[in-house]
Amino acid sequence: MATLADVARRSGVSVMTASRVLSGRGPASASARDAVTQAADELGYVPNAVARGLRNSRTGTVALVISDIQNSFYSAVAKAAEKGLGAHGLNLTIASSNEDAQRERDILQAIQAMRADALLITPTEHNGDHLQRLAQHGLPIVQLDRSVPGSDIRRVLLDNAGAAWRAVTHLTEHGHRRIALVGGPERITTGAERASGARNAARQAGAELLVAEAASYLHEGTRPAVEEAIDWGPTALIAGNNIVLETCMDVLLERGIDVPTALSLVAFDDLPWLRWTPAPITALRQPIAQMTTAAVSMLFTDPDSDGVERRFPAELVERASVRRITTAS
Amino acid sequence: MATLADVARRSGVSVMTASRVLSGRGPASASARDAVTQAADELGYVPNAVARGLRNSRTGTVALVISDIQNSFYSAVAKAAEKGLGAHGLNLTIASSNEDAQRERDILQAIQAMRADALLITPTEHNGDHLQRLAQHGLPIVQLDRSVPGSDIRRVLLDNAGAAWRAVTHLTEHGHRRIALVGGPERITTGAERASGARNAARQAGAELLVAEAASYLHEGTRPAVEEAIDWGPTALIAGNNIVLETCMDVLLERGIDVPTALSLVAFDDLPWLRWTPAPITALRQPIAQMTTAAVSMLFTDPDSDGVERRFPAELVERASVRRITTAS
DNA sequence: CTGAAAGCGCTTACAG
DNA sequence: CTGAAAGCGCTTACAG
């Protein structure tokens, strides 16, 4: 593959001049300019970003570490991140931790090795120390969706408590008095905050609330909690995220429980298919694109001037999965 | 950030020896080994992959270029690719072309600049020449899912014609005689091959077939074709991929057309939510993980010894969206 | 406006 | 077993 030296030789100038012309920084005579661009063209010269990265200690690459690339929430994040970064002329490297602490550690190490310029991460709860160390080395880091407990690493999050509060309140306003939330693990901020928001709302409304805690945000970890919640006999069920929702759908189908006649349902995360179930599903929509864009721009912003945390509200999209209950009183 | 020189200095050996110890290649005395590993540990030394990449002209990175990261088909590809590559100790960089020729060109150039070791791509039909040039420069390339027409770049594809044949035959066996396929653009191999397989099957069975060609595999491009197909008044509809299917669901819902009483439906690509619609949807399941794994291993295999193309069959998953039609005869 | 030199951090032959 | 030298391809001061 052609190098800068090849271009210089062919155009009869020094490597230096060729570099200046092609990078567009520094002066160059018109004739040098012409000769170099022509030679570069003829040779199909493409600058070596690796060499450039070594020299400049800037690689032009941002790493995105997500929990599960197949989860549509995170692929929406990936899409928005790619778009936002592309606007900055940056490349995106994506890796998926699969909620696994060891794997996340390996990824973090690889990112450090490849000298990424910045890191966007939806962290597991396990590697806060590692993250902190990277931040101290000067790597700009922004957490998205979730945050490692007790660190000062910047983050862009949903107003989880507010969203859960809204879901429960929506249900109590429809007359529900026995509500189950299948949430994520409370070790994870989303799980903890959603549970606490739901508890507040239930208390305020004087309704009963069961929080069934899934072992993980992966499918396998989710079923016992869903079954526990349904066995408890609620009139309404809140699926704490889209993975939990899928498990709920399976269990409801298996047991022949009809929504909303036998059970009302509210989902965290909005997806196209929620419109196509027998009773279209009411959902809390997260502003994923905006959150991701905010996280990307936070990456390039002064940590001290811009605050450590931003929260975004969810929007309740009402469809047909919540029944109004009228109590004889 | 600590460099090899720092480690060498701290452990009282030369850079050379430190390199040998840490890379595990070449001899080293036990004492040197101990001193170096300890120093590396204390300094939190992480080798600079950029420098290593420049020196070795191998970056340990494989690029994956997909058409749309939010399309669950491609995010399944991304997941499988990451897993397969991880086993080889390689990093994965993902970029999404969004079916845009110019964007794909930019991505290809960036990949060349960053000196990726190999490329996995679900190509648009536009940049075959560019791909060919990269291949001639010695970059291992494997096309997945789709292939650029008229090139000898290796590829792993679905048996599209066979799968479409199977879908149509399934319908004719259920008595359908007027079938519409909403396919992708026939410029794209998947679109062309699925259309041709469907035509063969219809001809064999003596059934009428309308192929409505979507302008693109993006949502926007898909609606006119879906409406054309439904307006034609078929008894059965085949959605040529998962994006088309989503549009079909929207249009059917808007028009109040019931599946399968008013219209039977078969989908390309299987997804969890197909089980949860009022009539669970019969689908052709692609072996995405196997195809991706095959593509990954093809990347590291001798081009001359292993053939240029591999095809995988789809599996028909029968559910409840196809009605049996009994004709008065 | 242009070029020779030095160096980013690593590893591959080559001597000792 | 160990080290001094050279070089991967680029760019940043520094002279001319």
In this complex, the answer to whether residue A71 has its CB under 7 A from any atom of chain D, a nucleic strand, is no
Q: Do A113 and B69 touch (CB under 8 A)?
A: no
Give the pLDDT band (50/70/90) at residue A23: confident
Cα distance from A201 to chain B (closest Cα, Å)? 30
**3-state per-residue secondary structure call for chain A:** CCCHHHHHHHHCCCHHHHHHHHHCCCCCCHHHHHHHHHHHHHHCCCCCHHHHHHHHCCCCEEEEEECCCCCHHHHHHHHHHHHHHHHCCCEEEEEECCCCHHHHHHHHHHHHHCCCCEEEECCCCCCHHHHHHHHHCCCCEEEECCCCCCCCCEEEEECHHHHHHHHHHHHHHCCCCEEEEEECCCCCHHHHHHHHHHHHHHHHHCCEEEEEECCCCCHHHHHHHHHHHHHCCCCEEEECCHHHHHHHHHHHHHHCCCCCCCCEEEEECCCHHHHCCCCCCEEEECCHHHHHHHHHHHHCCCCCCCCCEEEECCEEECCCCCCCCCCCC
Q: What mean pLDDT do residues A53-61 have?
A: 94
Give yes or no for residue A317 having a pLDDT over 70.
yes
Strand D neighbours among A 30-49, CB < 7 A: 47-48
Residues of A in Cβ contact (< 8 Å) with B49: 110, 113-115
Q: Do B277 and A272 touch (CB under 8 A)?
A: no
Q: What is the pLDDT along chain B (329 residues), one digit of tens a residue?
A: 899 999 999 999 989 999 999 988 778 888 889 999 999 999 999 999 999 999 999 999 999 999 999 999 999 999 999 999 988 889 999 999 999 999 999 999 999 999 999 999 999 999 999 999 999 989 999 999 999 988 899 999 999 999 999 999 999 999 999 999 999 999 999 999 999 999 999 999 999 999 999 998 888 889 999 999 999 999 999 999 999 999 999 999 999 999 999 999 999 999 999 999 999 999 999 999 999 999 999 999 887 777 899 999 999 999 999 999 986 55
Nearest alpha carbon to residue A277 among B269, B273, B321: B273
DSSP B108: H
Cα–Cα distance, B218 to B241 (Å, whole number): 11
Q: Which nucleotides of D are covered by protein (CB under 7 A)?
A: 1-5, 7-13
Q: What mean pLDDT do residues A16-28 have?
A: 86
Which residue is it, tokens 């060729």? A18
B220-246 pLDDT tens trace = 889 999 999 999 999 999 999 999 999
Using a 10 angstrom Cβ sphere, with 0-12 exposed, 13-18 middle and 19 or more buried, the burial of residue A206 is exposed
Q: Taking a contact as any Cβ pair under 8 Å apart, which residues of chain B between 160 and 219 contact chain A? A: none
Best B69, B71, B79, B245 member to test A by mutation, with max A CBs in 10 Å, is B69
Query: Across chain A, what does the average pLDDT equal?
Result: 94
Cα–Cα distance, A240 to A26 (Å, whole number): 56
User: Nearest residue of B to residue A93 by CA position?
Assistant: B93
Give yes or no for residue A26 having a pLDDT over 90.
no
Closest nucleotide (C1' vs CA) to B33 is D1
Q: In what order do the strands lie in the sheet with B141-144?
A: B91-96, B61-66, B118-121, B141-144, B155-158, B309-312
Cα–Cα distance, A141 to A63 (Å, whole number): 10
Give the CA-to-C1' distance from B25 to D3 in angstroms.
Answer: 16
Q: What mean pLDDT do residues A306-311 have?
A: 91
Q: In what order do the strands lie in the sheet with A118-121?
A: A91-96, A61-66, A118-121, A141-144, A154-158, A309-312
3-state secondary structure of B34: helix
What region does B45 belong to: left with phi over 0, alpha with psi -120 to 50, or beta?
beta
Cα distance from A137 to chain B (closest Cα, Å)? 7
Among the residue ranges A9-18, A165-174, A266-275, B200-209, the one predicted with the least confidence is A9-18
Share of chain A above pLDDT 90, in %: 85
Q: In what order do the strands lie in the sheet with B264-268?
A: B208-213, B178-183, B236-239, B264-268, B282-285, B315-317
B243 and B184 Cβ atoms separated by less than 8 Å: no
Q: Taking a contact as any Cβ pair under 8 Å apart, which residues of chain B between 39 and 98 contact chain A? A: 44, 46-51, 53-54, 59, 61, 68-70, 72, 75-76, 78-79, 82, 91-96
Give the CA-to-C1' distance from A16 to D14 in angstroms.
Answer: 13
Q: Taking a contact as any Cβ pair under 8 Å apart, which residues of chain B between 226 and 285 contact chain A? A: 246, 249-250, 253, 271-273, 275-278
pLDDT at B328: 56
pLDDT at A305: 75
B128 and B149 Cβ atoms separated by less than 8 Å: yes
pLDDT at B302: 81
More confident of the two residues B219 and A178: A178
Cα–Cα distance, B285 to A187 (Å, whole number): 36
More confident of the two residues A228 and B14: A228
Residues of A in Cβ contact (< 8 Å) with B93: 61, 91-94
Give the pLDDT band (50/70/90) at residue A5: very high
Cα–Cα distance, B167 to A251 (Å, whole number): 29
Residues of A in Cβ contact (< 8 Å) with B133: 44
Q: What mean pLDDT do residues A15-32 have?
A: 87
pLDDT at A329: 53
Nearest alpha carbon to residue A109 among A125, A91, A127: A127
A83-122 pLDDT tens trace = 999 888 899 999 999 999 999 999 999 999 999 999 999 9
Give the pLDDT band (50/70/90) at residue A306: confident
Give yes or no for residue A148 having a pLDDT over 60.
yes
Residues by CB within 7 A of strand C: list them.
A 13-17, 20, 26-29, 31-32, 51, 54-55, 57; B 1, 3-5, 15-16, 19-20, 22-23, 25, 47-48, 51-52, 54-56
Per DSSP bridges, beta strands B141-144 and B118-121 are parallel
pLDDT at A80: 96
Model pTM score: 0.93
Give yes or no for residue A215 having a pLDDT over 70.
yes
